[in-house]
Amino acid sequence: GNSVTQMEGPVTLSEEAFLTINCTYTATGYPSLFWYVQYPGEGLQLLLKATKADDKGSNKGFEATYRKETTSFHLEKGSVQVSDSAVYFCALIDLTDSWGKLQFGAGTQVVVTP
Amino acid sequence: DSGVTQTPKHLITATGQRVTLRCSPRSGDLSVYWYQQSLDQGLQFLIQYYNGEERAKGNILERFSAQQFPDLHSELNLSSLELGDSALYFCASSELGTSGIYSYNEQFFGPGTRLTVL
């Protein structure tokens, strides 16, 4: 079956530090990959996506590259802000499952201190 | 604001009881998804409806059921509640019911309903 594994948190950083959150996946079909962010007390928001191998998704200074050879989709940001404090979820949709349900990793809490 | 609304925001009830969670999708969205977020299981897909019909099922217990009404709002019914059912329940909506290899049908999430079973 399909699965998503991401690094455990919490990850605590100082403002302007470099952030990396590792995500690896297993999939039997043709996955599209996503990062969602959950701010305190809110629902999930799509942060970025990549629909095929070697695609790079980017948004709000965050980037992730779909690496089929290493089955990875690591999230990076060069200089974090306090407002980036949130829980980040790596997720996939197996496109052979045409109804498009998302499968999530466990989530990684990021805490950015001033 | 995603445009997806969920009520109630919080729900506290006792074991053995039954509750109903409500979701109103974004205007124009035909598909509704339900997800459960708990400390031990993480974020899991429960069920999907498209234009009133059930389309996909995930790890949804038999004690749970859902439906989508003609006005496209959806309800998730949880019965014979157990302590382990305490979780955050999210609804998401999308315009279509499918995603293809060259397209992604983005899901927009509501703020969730926090259920506490005592």
Confidence of residue B1 (pLDDT cuts 50, 70, 90): confident
| SS3 category, A84 | helix
- Out of B48, B92, B103, name the one closest to residue A99 (CB): B48
pLDDT value of position B98: 57
pLDDT value of position B100: 54
β-pairing verdict for A86-94 and A31-38: antiparallel
Q: Report CB contact under 8 Å: B48, A30.
A: no
**Would the pLDDT of A59 be above 90?**
yes
Q: Report CB contact under 8 Å: B2, A45.
A: yes
With b for 16 or more beta-carbon neighbours within 10 A and e for fewer, the A2-19 pattern comes to eebebbeeebebeeeeeb
**Would the pLDDT of B50 be above 60?**
yes
pLDDT value of position A72: 96
Q: Are A2 and A25 in contact (CB under 8 A)?
A: yes
| pLDDT single digits (tens) A67-102 | 999 999 999 999 999 999 999 999 998 877 656 688
| pLDDT single digits (tens) B57-114 | 998 999 999 999 999 999 999 999 999 999 999 999 988 755 555 556 788 999 999 9
**Would the pLDDT of A114 be above 70?**
yes
- DSSP string spanning A10-67? -EEEETT--EEE-EEEE-SS-EEEEEEEE-TTS-EEEEEEE-STT-EEEETTEEEE-B
Confidence of residue B40 (pLDDT cuts 50, 70, 90): confident
Chain A residue numbers touching B58 (CB-CB < 8 A): 101
Q: Are A91 and A4 in contact (CB under 8 A)?
A: yes
For B58, counting Cβ atoms within 10 Å of its Cβ (0-12 exposed, 13-18 middle, 19+ buried), the class is middle
Chain B residue numbers touching A32 (CB-CB < 8 A): 99, 104
Q: Which residue has the tokens 């201190």?
A: A113
Query: Per CB distance under 8 Å, which residues of B are interface residues toward A?
Result: 2, 4, 33, 35, 42-45, 48, 50, 55-56, 58, 90, 92, 94, 97-107, 109-112
Mean pLDDT of chain A: 92
